[in-house]
């Protein structure tokens, strides 16, 4: 049976070139980077070269990159350390953030007394800028951190980092953005972008799992969340994931090579799927922003509440199609997607997220549309 992978927002297949770059550090160069002998110097040099590579791609200083175990740790460090170290008393965020931010904000409110403020959103999940300014005015001078993801991982709606960052600067607030879904898919110039903290996970752009980074603008002044050693320039204790870090840097290099061509290719696949679904399946709709401003890798589809969508994700899996589900349903036994529940309360019916990569093809899109047509037109 043919299989098609359209769940790239969850994770991407590792690029062969990334594995090739990692293998010497899995097999031959195994020294601890903290050791002063030749084995250690070899791996230390690899870690620092990877840091320089990432920094050059982001147009920032190498010292502003802190390697972590992934996006979740980086998000947790940004919020927890800001409250602990920088006197942050107000966290302004939204109800559709990744749980790494949403649950951390809730925990900090319960345990550390930092007030969480939940930003109003428009129907597509974009922040209400007037409400954001209202919250920033109300908390000015009291220590505020704004944490809003660059693009939503479920519906693809993307925010304007420049506009939000400029507003934060106006009122003296820190700005953190979870860029896990957009790192490796858009170019970032940290010399120009008014953002203080951003996060990355390598496996979202054909790199290895278990590695990411936190970008921390020079002067922000966070202290380490994980203690125990002087690794990562005293910012994260623990022996470095050498081959993961090497793989992350290689994956970023690949991502930024011909990035515009990859964007056009994947956007074309998303547009094709929208068009073909509307032609073949009357009654469907889409969640979030589906314009060209949205994240080009993600398409969230809403299917009619006619009973046929109840087992849709399982039926697609049986047909060899891998994708993700989410439903803002009203059943107390099935919470569904917190993103869709926040934006479309009370709405029922199946919701499927299809997400594409540079390896996806138009022929795969046509095949999946055919599978969906067969499922929904079956008696």
The residue-averaged pLDDT of 68-80 equals: 98
* Between 347 and 372, the higher pLDDT residue: 372
Domain ranges of the chain: 4-12+258-377, 16-256
The residue-averaged pLDDT of 338-357 equals: 91
16-256 to CATH, choices 3.90.950.10, 3.40.640.10, 3.30.67.10, 3.30.70.270: 3.40.640.10
For residue 175, pLDDT over 60 is answered with yes
- pLDDT band of residue 320 (cuts 50, 70, 90) is very high
- pLDDT band of residue 326 (cuts 50, 70, 90) is low
Computed over every residue of the chain, the mean pLDDT equals 94
For residue 12, pLDDT over 70 is answered with yes
Residue 264 CB coordination number (10 Å): 11
Residue 331 confidence (pLDDT): 36
Is 329 marked active-site? yes
- Selecting among 60, 200, 323, 329, the annotated active-site residue is 329
- pLDDT band of residue 185 (cuts 50, 70, 90) is very high
Each residue's pLDDT tens digit, 212-262: 999 999 999 999 999 999 999 999 999 999 999 999 999 999 999 999 999
The residue-averaged pLDDT of 259-282 equals: 97
CATH number 3.90.1150.10 is the correct assignment for the domain at 4-12+258-377: yes
Each residue's pLDDT tens digit, 47-57: 999 999 999 99
For residue 332, pLDDT over 60 is answered with no
Lowest mean pLDDT among 137-146, 218-227, 248-257, 370-379: 370-379
The residue-averaged pLDDT of 265-291 equals: 96
Residue 348 confidence (pLDDT): 78
């Amino acid at each position: 049976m043919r299989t098609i992978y359209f769940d790239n927002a969850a994770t991407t297949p590792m690029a062969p070139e990334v594995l090739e770059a990692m293998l010497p550090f899995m097999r031959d160069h195994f020294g601890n980077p903290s050791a002063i002998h030749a084995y250690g110097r070899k791996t230390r040099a690899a870690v620092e070269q990877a840091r320089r590579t990432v920094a050059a791609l982001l147009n920032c200083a190498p010292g502003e990159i802190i390697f972590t175990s992934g996006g979740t740790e980086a998000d947790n460090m940004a919020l927890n350390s800001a409250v602990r170290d920088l006197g942050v008393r107000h966290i302004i965020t939204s109800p559709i953030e990744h749980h790494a931010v949403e649950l951390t904000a809730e925990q900090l409110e319960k345990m550390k007394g930092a007030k969480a403020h939940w930003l109003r959103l428009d129907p597509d999940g974009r922040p209400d800028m007037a409400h954001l300014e209202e919250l920033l005015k109300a908390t000015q001078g009291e220590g505020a951190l704004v944490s809003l993801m660059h693009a939503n991982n479920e519906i693809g709606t993307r925010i304007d980092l420049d506009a939000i960052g400029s507003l934060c600067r106006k009122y003296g607030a820190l700005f953190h953005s979870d860029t896990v879904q957009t790192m490796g898919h858009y170019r970032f110039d940290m010399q120009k972008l008014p953002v203080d903290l951003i996060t990355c996970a390598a496996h979202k752009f054909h790199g290895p799992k278990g590695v990411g980074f936190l970008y921390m603008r020079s002067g922000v002044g966070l202290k380490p969340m994980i203690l125990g050693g002087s690794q990562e320039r005293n910012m994260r204790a623990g022996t470095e994931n050498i081959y993961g870090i090497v793989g992350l840097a290689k994956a970023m290099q690949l991502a930024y090579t011909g990035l515009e061509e990859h964007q056009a290719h994947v956007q074309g696949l998303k547009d094709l799927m929208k068009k073909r679904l509307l032609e073949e399946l009357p009654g469907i709709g889409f969640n979030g922003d589906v314009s060209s401003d949205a994240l080009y890798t993600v398409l969230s589809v809403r299917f009619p509440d006619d009973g046929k969508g109840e087992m849709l994700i399982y039926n697609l899996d049986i047909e060899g199609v891998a994708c993700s589900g989410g439903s803002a349903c009203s059943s107390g036994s099935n919470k569904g997607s917190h993103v869709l529940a926040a934006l479309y309360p009370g709405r029922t019916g199946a919701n499927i997220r299809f997400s594409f990569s540079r390896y996806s093809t138009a022929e795969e899109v046509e095949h999946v549309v055919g599978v969906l047509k067969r499922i929904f037109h079956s008696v």
